[in-house]
């Protein structure tokens, strides 16, 4: 079979193209273009119409023009660095073609005297003469030039002419792929095939036509391929048979009754869903998603408690050592003394770590807390029954799959995130997992009052802070940068610390990413013990840190943060029973989007609503953490503008799952969209 009739041709190396050598390949690879398929998604941004030919007398200066001329005379100067010139003419006038850094032989070859030649390029006027410098297009065959030529965001070192040739070559040799979608789906896109859609995508007249059938069809393919992979991973995990964990509800309820608060309905429902997973013979692979301060940690710990009581070990991983220690301390506080709880941290000395690892191996530890170190190769468990990972929205599908495999068949997996994300994104990022959502906040939680304040009104803010400190309250003061930057006009944490400690002597602490871990812990302990009243910090406090006495947060340059990140930061306060305040400070020259973000935050404390609005303003792929998430941004699909396609893909996947349809026909789709490493055993 000719490879060009097969999808594999599109996955060929770039050198499979005529005229593309090692140099061009390397230039394209710098732009993350590694095969022919990648090139198809570098779309034209505009076009130049060279189809209309002009007479010399009608040429427009400063514009790209096409003209057919006859070369009359060569002017090759003896002095180096001067340009070569060719005097050309038609029946209406004369035009100079000027060449810098070109050999005489080359010029004579492309512009032979006395022959009609069509040329195209930007026209200038010099010493009362029309001039065309280094023309991009020259040919005796005018039909080659008299076309509409796409303009792309070019890779340095590759000309528009070469780039167009490459794209045209791929499109002209597109393999005829068999249709992978059902007739009902294809009908929704005007019965356009994948091939025809690609051809339409690159036509100059179709630039920006995002609602047309060809564009929608290709966007749907992206979404569907992602959902299909997630569905297959889900199926594979569900096929794994494990030993059922026996939930002791008496012990669970005794622990719940001893808590100083009541669980919300959402918390109760989430715990039921997790318990059901733990007690079935299929492996749990679940995401616990909740708003800031909705109480996910206690549900995770109750799940851990039930797993321990069923005779298994639990590994609880957090993104930072500070957060791992916080979870460890809470477990020590609420679990019975009989439970063996340990923490592995950077502070643990080698001897102590060795003892802990030995205990883990011999089943003498029930639950271990730590950062990613608890999943290193040298760490082995005797009977690991549950892995809990907090705040791991940075885990991609591949990493989660490896994690699920690591624990063995009897080990369940629970991921948590306090980053509420829109449904379209949840479907995309976490479609391989079951989902529990906690939206409801504890009844004791009061809404955080949010205000915006001009930077010039800082004196009003300082008066407010003095009043709060006198009332025994604590303050977070967040700045975007650690130190002053010459390039960015942001307030630095270091400068703000110096400024505030003069006004509030012996009451201000500084915390940032460069602070040593031991020092961080000391600073946070001192703040928690109320020895200091103000903690100046970068966004390091964004995730998980819990200080019930801190009820005011000041966020400088609030317009520089996204909505979701501002909501995360705001969630550091309002954790006690006092009224809490968030003050967003900004400069006067706010953009319209910045004004929108600040107003949305002032109106709502609902993280799920805020994330939807954030995505509408900022676009997909730019929400908190998702740039670093490891998932690939869609090339065409957009969760805001294509929400209907997301719902259509979800419906189609459910149909395929329910009918147990053979998915082998989707193999080209999955392979092309670079998912082959996840599902590599499709027939």
Q: What is the pLDDT of residue 624?
A: 40
Q: Are residues 551 and 491 in the same domain?
A: yes
Max Cα-Cα span within the chain:
102
User: What is the arithmetic mean of pLDDT over 89-95?
Assistant: 92
Helix or strand holding residue 394 (H, E): none
Tell me whether residue 541 is in a domain: yes
Q: Rounded distance, CA 9 to CA 55, Å? A: 44
Q: What is the pLDDT of residue 395?
A: 58
Other C-beta atoms closer than 10 Å to the C-beta of 450 total 24
**Taking 50 as the threshold, does the pLDDT of residue 1 lie above it?**
no
Tell me if residue 652 falls in helix, strand or coil. Answer: helix
Q: Are residues 94 and 186 in the same domain?
A: no
- Exposure string of 591-602, with b = 16+ CB inside 10 Å and e = fewer, is eeebebbbebbe
User: Is the CA virtual torsion 416, 422, 428, 431 positive or negative?
Assistant: positive
Question: What angle (nearest 5°) sits at the alpha carbon of residue 179, between those of residues 176 and 180?
Answer: 130
* Token pair belonging to 331: 């477990």
Tell me whether residue 613 is in a domain: no
Q: Where is mean pLDDT largest: 276-280, 387-391, 677-681?
A: 276-280
* Token pair belonging to 397: 């599908």
Q: Which of 438, 467, 494 is the last residue of a domain?
A: 438
Whole-number percent of the chain with pLDDT over 70: 88
DSSP letter assigned to residue 155? P
Q: Which residues contact 17 (CB under 8 A, 6 or more apart)?
A: 36, 166, 169, 170
Evaluate whether 523 touches 509 at the Cβ level (below 8 Å).
yes
Q: What is the pLDDT of residue 406?
A: 65
Tally the domains of the chain.
Answer: 5
Q: Rounded distance, CA 217 to CA 191, Å? A: 9
Q: What is the pLDDT of residue 680?
A: 54
- pLDDT band at 677, cuts 50/70/90? low
Instruction: From 556, 546, 376, 418, select the one nearest 484 (Cα to Cα).
Output: 556
Q: Are residues 287 and 396 in the same domain?
A: yes
Tell me whether residue 154 is in a domain: no
- pLDDT band at 655, cuts 50/70/90? very high
**Taking 70 as the threshold, does the pLDDT of residue 5 lie above it?**
no
Q: Are residues 572 and 479 in the same domain?
A: yes
User: What is the arithmetic mean of pLDDT over 488-496?
Assistant: 68
**Taking 60 as the threshold, does the pLDDT of residue 522 lie above it?**
yes
Q: Where is mean pLDDT largest: 269-278, 356-365, 468-477, 559-568?
A: 269-278
Instruction: From 436, 434, 428, select the one nearest 396 (Cα to Cα).
Output: 428
**Taking 80 as the threshold, does the pLDDT of residue 499 lie above it?**
yes
What CATH number corresponds to the domain at position 266? Answer: 3.40.50.300
Q: Are residues 599 and 677 in the same domain?
A: no
Tell me whether residue 499 is in a domain: yes
Q: What is the pLDDT of residue 315?
A: 93
- pLDDT band at 603, cuts 50/70/90? confident
Q: Which of 438, 469, 488 is the last residue of a domain?
A: 438
User: What is the arithmetic mean of pLDDT over 303-332?
Assistant: 91
Q: Where is mean pLDDT largest: 78-82, 183-187, 430-434, 454-458?
A: 183-187
The residues with which 384 forms a beta bridge, in sequence order, are 313
Q: Rounded distance, CA 202 to CA 172, Å? A: 12
**Taking 60 as the threshold, does the pLDDT of residue 204 lie above it?**
yes
Q: Rounded distance, CA 506 to CA 503, Å? A: 10
User: What is the arithmetic mean of pLDDT over 171-193?
Assistant: 92
Q: What is the pLDDT of residue 345?
A: 77
| Least confident interval from 107-116, 391-400, 601-610 | 391-400
DSSP letter assigned to residue 436? E
Question: Tokens 């549900």 appear where?
Answer: 299
Q: What is the pLDDT of residue 674?
A: 63
Q: What is the pLDDT of residue 56?
A: 92
Q: Are residues 211 and 357 in the same domain?
A: no
Q: What is the pLDDT of residue 567?
A: 87
Query: Which tops the pLDDT comparison, 215 or 440?
Result: 215
Q: Are residues 166 and 200 in the same domain?
A: no
SS3 string, 115-149, reads CCEEEEEEEEEECCEEEEECCCEEECCHHHHCCEE
Query: Which tops the pLDDT comparison, 517 or 556?
Result: 556
* Token pair belonging to 221: 């393919």
Q: What is the pLDDT of residue 626?
A: 43
pLDDT in tens, 377-434: 788 888 999 999 987 655 556 666 666 666 678 899 999 987 777 777 777 777 778 8
Other C-beta atoms closer than 10 Å to the C-beta of 138 total 18
Tell me whether residue 628 is in a domain: no
Q: What is the pLDDT of residue 489?
A: 45
Tell me if residue 515 falls in helix, strand or coil. Answer: coil
**Taking 70 as the threshold, does the pLDDT of residue 682 lie above it?**
no
Range of the domain at 676: 179-239+642-683
pLDDT in tens, 14-44: 888 888 888 888 888 887 888 888 888 887 7
Mean pLDDT of all residues in the chain?
A: 84
pTM for the whole structure: 0.72
Q: Are residues 327 and 188 in the same domain?
A: no
pLDDT in tens, 527-539: 888 899 999 988 7
User: What is the arithmetic mean of pLDDT over 189-210?
Assistant: 89
Q: What is the pLDDT of residue 583?
A: 93
Q: Are residues 328 and 363 in the same domain?
A: yes
Q: Rounded distance, CA 283 to CA 240, Å? A: 6
Q: Rounded distance, CA 632 to CA 272, Å? A: 33
Tell me whether residue 635 is in a domain: no
What CATH number corresponds to the domain at position 69? Answer: 2.40.50.140
Q: Which of 384, 407, 438 is the last residue of a domain?
A: 438
Q: Rounded distance, CA 630 to CA 394, Å? A: 7
Where residue 424 falls (left for φ over 0; alpha for ψ -120 to 50; beta otherwise) is alpha
Question: Tokens 């989707």 appear where?
Answer: 666
Other C-beta atoms closer than 10 Å to the C-beta of 657 total 14
- In 50-92, the DSSP E strands lie at 53-54, 64-75, 84-90
Q: Which residues contact 312 (CB under 8 A, 6 or more apart)?
A: 245, 383, 384, 385, 386, 410
Q: Are residues 415 and 460 in the same domain?
A: no
Tell me whether residue 165 is in a domain: yes
Q: What is the pLDDT of residue 619?
A: 59
SS3 string, 263-332, reads CCHHHHHHHHHHHHHHCCCECCEEEEEECCCCCHHHHHHHHHHHHHHCCCEEEEECCCHHHHHHHHHHHH
Evaluate whether 116 touches 70 at the Cβ level (below 8 Å).
yes
Tell me whether residue 196 is in a domain: yes
Tell me if residue 356 falls in helix, strand or coil. Answer: helix
User: What is the arithmetic mean of pLDDT over 260-268?
Assistant: 92
**Taking 70 as the threshold, does the pLDDT of residue 491 lie above it?**
no
Q: What is the pLDDT of residue 164?
A: 80
| Least confident interval from 75-89, 211-225, 270-284, 603-617 | 603-617
pLDDT in tens, 129-164: 899 998 878 888 887 777 776 766 666 667 777 778
User: What is the arithmetic mean of pLDDT over 95-110?
Assistant: 90
User: What is the arithmetic mean of pLDDT over 522-526?
Assistant: 83
- In 465-614, the DSSP E strands lie at 474-478, 508-511, 534-537, 550-555, 581-586
Evaluate whether 202 touches 150 at the Cβ level (below 8 Å).
yes
- pLDDT band at 197, cuts 50/70/90? very high
User: What is the arithmetic mean of pLDDT over 168-191?
Assistant: 91
Q: Are residues 596 and 476 in the same domain?
A: yes
Separation of first and last alpha carbons in the chain? 18
Q: Are residues 375 and 284 in the same domain?
A: yes
Q: What is the pLDDT of residue 463?
A: 94
Q: What is the pLDDT of residue 298?
A: 94
């Amino acid at each position: 079979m000719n490879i060009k009739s097969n999808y594999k041709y599109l996955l060929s190396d770039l050198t499979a193209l005529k005229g593309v050598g090692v140099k061009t390949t390397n230039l394209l690879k710098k732009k993350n273009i590694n095969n022919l398929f990648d090139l198809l998604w570098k779309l034209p941004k505009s076009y130049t119409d060279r189809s209309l030919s002009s007479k010399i007398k009608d040429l427009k200066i400063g514009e790209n023009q096409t003209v057919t001329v006859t070369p009359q005379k060569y002017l090759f100067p003896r002095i180096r660095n001067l340009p070569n010139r060719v005097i050309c003419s038609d029946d209406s006038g004369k035009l100079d073609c000027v060449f810098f850094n070109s050999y005489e032989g080359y010029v004579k070859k492309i512009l032979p005297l006395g022959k009609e030649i069509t040329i195209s390029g930007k026209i200038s006027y010099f010493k009362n003469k029309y001039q065309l410098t280094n023309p991009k297009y020259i040919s005796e065959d005018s039909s080659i030039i008299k076309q509409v030529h796409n303009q792309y965001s070019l890779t340095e070192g590759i000309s528009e002419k070469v780039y167009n040739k490459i794209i045209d070559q791929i499109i002209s040799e597109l393999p005829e792929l068999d249709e992978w979608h059902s007739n009902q789906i294809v009908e929704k896109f005007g019965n356009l095939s994948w091939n025809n859609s690609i051809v339409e995508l690159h036509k100059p007249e179709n630039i920006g036509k995002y609602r047309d059938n060809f564009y929608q069809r290709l966007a749907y393919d992206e979404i569907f391929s992602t959902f299909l992979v997630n569905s297959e991973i889900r199926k594979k995990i569900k096929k794994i048979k494990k030993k059922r964990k026996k939930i002791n509800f008496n012990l669970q309820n005794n622990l719940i009754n001893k808590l100083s608060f009541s669980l919300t309905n959402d918390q109760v429902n989430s715990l039921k869903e997790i318990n059901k997973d733990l007690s079935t013979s299929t492996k749990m692979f679940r995401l616990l998603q909740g708003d800031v301060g909705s109480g996910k940690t206690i549900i995770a710990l109750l799940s851990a408690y039930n797993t321990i009581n069923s005779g298994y070990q639990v590994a609880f991983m957090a993104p930072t050592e500070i957060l791992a220690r916080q979870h460890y301390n809470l477990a020590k506080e609420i679990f019975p003394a009989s439970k063996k709880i340990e923490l592995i941290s950077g502070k643990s000395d080698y001897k102590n770590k060795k003892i802990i690892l030995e205990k883990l191996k011999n089943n003498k530890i029930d639950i271990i807390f730590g950062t990613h170190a608890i999943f290193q190769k040298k760490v082995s468990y005797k009977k690991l029954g549950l892995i809990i990972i907090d705040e791991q929205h940075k885990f991609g599908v591949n990493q989660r799959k490896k994690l699920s495999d690591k624990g063995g068949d009897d080990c369940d997996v629970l991921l948590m995130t306090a980053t509420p994300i829109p449904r379209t994104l949840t479907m995309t990022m976490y479609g391989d997992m079951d989902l529990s959502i906690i939206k409801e906040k504890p009844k004791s939680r009061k809404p955080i009052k949010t205000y915006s304040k001009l930077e010039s009104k800082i004196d009003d803010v300082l008066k407010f802070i003095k009043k709060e400190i006198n009332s025994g309250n604590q303050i977070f003061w967040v700045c975007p940068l650690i130190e002053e930057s010459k390039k960015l006009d942001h307030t630095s944490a270091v400068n703000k610390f110096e400024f505030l400690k003069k006004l509030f002597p012996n009451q201000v602490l500084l915390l940032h990413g460069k602070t040593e871990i031991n020092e961080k812990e000391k600073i946070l302990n001192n703040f928690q013990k109320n020895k200091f009243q103000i903690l100046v910090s970068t966004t390091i406090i964004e995730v998980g840190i819990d200080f019930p006495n801190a009820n005011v947060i000041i966020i400088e340059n609030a317009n520089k943060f996204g909505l979701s990140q501002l909501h995360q930061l705001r969630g550091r306060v309002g954790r006690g029973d006092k009224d809490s305040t968030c003050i967003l400070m900004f400069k006067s020259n706010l953009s319209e989007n910045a004004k929108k973000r600040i107003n949305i935050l002032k109106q709502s404390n609902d993280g799920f609503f805020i994330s939807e609005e954030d995505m509408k303003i900022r676009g997909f792929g730019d929400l908190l953490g998702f740039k670093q998430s490891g998932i690939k941004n869609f090339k065409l699909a957009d969760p805001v503008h294509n929400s209907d396609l997301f719902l259509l893909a979800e419906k189609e996947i459910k149909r395929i799952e329910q009918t147990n349809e053979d998915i082998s026909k989707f193999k080209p789709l999955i392979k092309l969209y670079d998912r082959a490493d996840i599902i590599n055993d499709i027939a």
